[in-house]
Amino acid sequence: MAYSYTPANADAANVASRLETQTNAITGTPTLTAPIVNVDFRAFLQSNADALLDCLGYRAHSEVQAGSDSRGANTFADATTAYGTWTVAVPVAKTYLLRVDLSCYMTVGADQVAFQVMVDGGAVAAQPDFAARFYFNSLSEHNRLSWLCPIAFASTGNKAIKLQWRVVNAAGTVTTNADDFRMFTLFG
């Protein structure tokens, strides 16, 4: 598989040239060059961190024990008492994949629970609708839910990720206690 790289600065150009020379030497076209001097490798890595992270991938993780909370209305509301807010450092502006794992249970009556992911106070665009829903057949039975949600971060820096929840038909009450959990894993 061919790989192409456009150097961002003179140090990167030096390294790219050296790598090309070494590749030529391995493939049978030996070319002697002067050693690279005055290259600050740490500065090179820092200046190319975005490209390195993009190639190598990124993963961050947060897990919390749920707090006692409930929701019986069919409009979305913050579930921060139940599942908290996660502040994550986003190193590269691009689309990541958030895996959400959590547990909860239904009291009062059978119903569906629906979740949506929020970033910095706004709902994530194009998030799954049916994957983030669950129908409870049994009352007071803790169930685990999991789904994936793509998140396009337009900028780097700290981002606050939280969940909102609602019951779909307003017939039941979705509930959490200390036996429940929330886990976020961000892949990119």
DSSP string of 126-162, one letter each residue: T--SSTTEEE-SSTT--EEEEEEEEEE-SS-EEEEEE
pLDDT at position 42 is: 74
Spatial separation of the C-alpha atoms in residues 125 and 153, rounded to whole Å? 11
Average pLDDT over residues 160-186: 95
Q: DSSP code of 87?
A: E
User: Using alpha carbons only, how large is the chain's radius of gyration in Å?
Assistant: 24
pLDDT in tens, 61-115: 999 999 999 999 999 999 999 999 999 999 989 999 999 999 999 998 889 999 9
Q: How confident is the model at residue 1 (pLDDT cuts 50, 70, 90)?
A: very low
Cβ contacts of 46 within 8 Å, gap of 6 or more: none
Whether 79 and 125 have beta carbons less than 8 Å apart is answered as: no
Nearest CA among 166, 164, 175, 181 for reference residue 108: 175
The CATH code for residues 58-187 is: 2.60.120.760
The percent of residues in the chain predicted with pLDDT above 90, rounded, is 58
Cβ contacts of 35 within 8 Å, gap of 6 or more: none
Q: How confident is the model at residue 128 (pLDDT cuts 50, 70, 90)?
A: confident
Who has greater pLDDT, 57 or 177?
Answer: 177
The percent of residues in the chain predicted with pLDDT above 70, rounded, is 73
Nearest CA among 177, 165, 161 for reference residue 61: 161
| Long-range pairs for 45-54: beta carbons < 8 A, 24 or more residues apart | 47/8, 47/9, 47/11, 47/12, 48/8, 48/12, 49/91, 50/91, 50/92, 51/5, 51/8, 53/91, 53/92, 53/188, 54/92, 54/94
Spatial separation of the C-alpha atoms in residues 86 and 155, rounded to whole Å? 17
Average pLDDT over residues 8-24: 59
Spatial separation of the C-alpha atoms in residues 161 and 98, rounded to whole Å? 10
Amino acid at 59: R
Q: How confident is the model at residue 188 (pLDDT cuts 50, 70, 90)?
A: confident
Name the segment(s) of the chain with CATH classification 2.60.120.760. 58-187
Q: How confident is the model at residue 24 (pLDDT cuts 50, 70, 90)?
A: low
Give how far the C-alpha of residue 80 lies from the chain's centroid of Cα atoms, to the nearest Å. 18
Who has greater pLDDT, 133 or 26?
Answer: 133
